[in-house]
Structure 1
């Protein structure tokens, strides 16, 4: 996918989906579209540029959302081991974690968008084929999760939708600060 191919995913080969699953896919597609739209017509340099007091850049947001969506989808399938244990992270681990919010040397916006498209395709397939949205997994150990809590696949998918929408809003502010272009307003 090139930077300018920012349409919603083609699900024509996907199984017929209706009801709740169709609603989840529609919400994901809309949030993903707005997030990708913020990168339209940008160079790699622009995609890596910080434009606000935040450490965030557009390429870094695409990279972060890709990683988070992949990890949540893996969590649905494989449980908390897919997410890691945040309570044992070292200072070096946290520094590596922070790198996901920046474009690194050699990364391109086109490459980040292609990786995001592949993760989105995989998640969409999971939504379409998962046998039971009520199936739960225990949350991994992390200071931001309630100890002993379990989340259903449905709740995890809603988390992916909400995180994507939240980051699309961040991206819109960053893009407007970059060159005045707006994606949502």
Structure 2
């Protein structure tokens, strides 16, 4: 992270003053979890990043790709509300099948490309955290079987969700990498 550790200020975002307080805390939490998601992909080939090493469908490249799409989608939600996201209740079986490609590193994709896309989305989210006028501003959640129909999330709640989602998948990434070649993020 490029923040000033002595002042506790967050990263400098393109010449704008560094953020402080709650926003700095959110940026620091995001940066830490993003690191733990990307770190297991270090020194891997594209083929290794595509490899499934557990009983599940997940691979390292697919996890990073998925978290990128999640963060991109929720960033759109913060700015534009539920219209920025699909109506999950109206998705067909074919729609769900296509969404599964978001968990795979496809043959035409590269780990470097997925990591670059993730870095771009992270930069845009960080800018959003730094410049959003009100973290309390919120929207009704998109239609989905896993959300209460009358639920609303503030920008703050969405950002906490992005941190949690990234942390959960960082743990998955660590397990996949250790299963791949014994490398660990910690220990």
For Structure 1 versus Structure 2, the TM-score category normalised by the shorter chain is: over 0.9
Q: CA deviation at 1:15?
A: 2.5
Match of 1:36 in 2: 38
Query: Structure 2 CA distance, aligned partners of 1:106 and 1:136?
Result: 38
Residue 62 (structure 1) shift: 0.5
Q: After superposition, what is the alpha-carbon deviation per residue over 1:72-128, rounded to whole angstroms, capped at 9, x for unaligned?
A: 000000000111100000111000111100011210000000000000000000000
C-alpha distance in 1 between matches for 2:183 and 2:43: 10
SS in 1 for 2:41: coil
Equivalent-residue separation in structure 2 for 1:169 and 1:82 (angstroms): 28
Partners of 1:44 and 1:16 in 2: CA distance: 36
Q: Identify which of 87, 90, 94 aligns with 1:88.
A: 90
**Counterpart residue number, 1:4:** none
Q: Distance in 1 between matches of 2:80 and 2:143?
A: 15
Identify the match of residue 67 of structure 1 among 63, 66, 69. Answer: 69
Partner of 1:119: 121
Match of 2:144 among 142, 148, 154: 142
Could you tell me which of 132, 135, 140 is aligned with 1:133? Answer: 135
Residue 179 of structure 2 is matched in structure 1 by 177
**How far apart, in 2, do the equivalents of 1:173 and 1:69 lie?**
22
The number of residue pairs the alignment matches comes to 178
Within the candidate set 49, 52, 72, 2:51 is matched to: 49
Matched residues in 2 for 1:9 and 1:145: separation? Answer: 36
Taking a change above 3 Å as real, the CA distance of residues 126 and 26 of structure 1, as seen in their structure-2 partners, is: same
Q: Indicate the SS of the match to 1:137.
A: strand
CA contact (8 A) 1:15 1:128 kept: no
**How much does 1:50 deviate?**
0.0
TM-score normalised according to structure 2 size: 0.93
Coordinate RMSD, CA, aligned: 1.1
Show structure 1 runs of 4+ deviating over 6 A. Answer: none
**Structure 1 unmatched ranges of 5 or more:** 1-7
Which of 14, 17, 38 is residue 15 of structure 1 equivalent to?
Answer: 17
